[in-house]
């Protein structure tokens, strides 16, 4: 085979290999903005403050990493860490932590999920959804489980209009 033929074969092989890499595609994901995360955390904290509780609120991104941590100046030290773990649980299991708590308490096969690092089966963690996609989570800690849950839900409700699927479609165009 001539050197021109070999070069042609090598170029063709390179094109095929690189074509396979491109064929794997690109994944597009929605990401929770810092501004929205701050709004959710502030609304979560404000809801609990309005009920007389000194709490902490933590908002995580889709990967479970902290975007915002807020702690009331009168909240105890462990509340921020508990809020983070509640948010992490809600994000990883795609449900509120009250739902996770009930599900794992009633099914012995699921109970070991509570032993995974950073999981906390206490009410107060709520996933943040854009349509059907989980893009983060918020955790609230420092009151009781039902109130922490309500405060976290109030935080998400503050941005509910921005999280509707049709709004997401408009934002990406």
Q: Is the pLDDT higher at 22 or at 123?
A: 123
Number of residues written out for the chain:
173
- Cα dihedral 153, 79, 32, 92 in deg (nearest 10): -80
Closest C-alpha among 67, 64, 12, 62 to residue 37? 67
CA distances from 161 to 28, 36, 130, 170 (A): 22, 12, 10, 12
Q: What is the pTM of this model?
A: 0.82
pLDDT at 173: 46
Class of 34-172 per CATH? alpha beta
Q: What is the mean pLDDT of the chain?
A: 89
Q: Which of 76-90, 127-141, 159-173 has the lowest mean pLDDT?
A: 159-173
pLDDT in tens, 59-77: 999 999 999 999 999 999 9
List the 133-141 sheet strands across, edge first.
66-71, 56-61, 133-141, 125-130
The bridge status of strand 56-61 relative to strand 133-141 is antiparallel
pLDDT category at 33 given cuts 50, 70, 90 is: very high
Q: Is the pLDDT higher at 111 or at 6?
A: 111
User: In this model, does residue 8 exceed pLDDT 90?
Assistant: no
pLDDT at 30: 93
Q: Are 32 and 62 in contact (CB under 8 A)?
A: yes
């Amino acid at each position: 085979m001539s050197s021109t033929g070999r070069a042609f074969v090598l170029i063709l092989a390179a094109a095929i290999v690189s074509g396979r890499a491109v064929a794997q595609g690109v994944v597009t994901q929605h990401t929770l903005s810092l501004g929205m995360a701050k709004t959710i955390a502030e609304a979560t904290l404000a809801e609990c403050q309005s009920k007389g509780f000194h709490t902490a609120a933590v908002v995580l991104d889709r990967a479970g990493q902290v975007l915002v941590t807020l702690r009331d100046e009168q909240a105890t030290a462990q509340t921020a860490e508990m809020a983070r773990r509640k948010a992490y649980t809600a994000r990883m299991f795609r449900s509120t932590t009250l739902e996770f708590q009930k599900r794992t308490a009633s099914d012995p096969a699921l109970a070991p999920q509570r032993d995974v690092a950073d999981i906390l089966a206490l009410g107060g963690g709520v996933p943040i959804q854009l349509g059907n996609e989980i893009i983060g989570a918020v955790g609230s800690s420092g009151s009781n489980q039902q109130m922490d849950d309500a405060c976290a839900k109030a935080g998400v409700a503050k941005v509910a209009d921005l999280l509707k699927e049709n709004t997401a479609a408009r934002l990406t165009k």
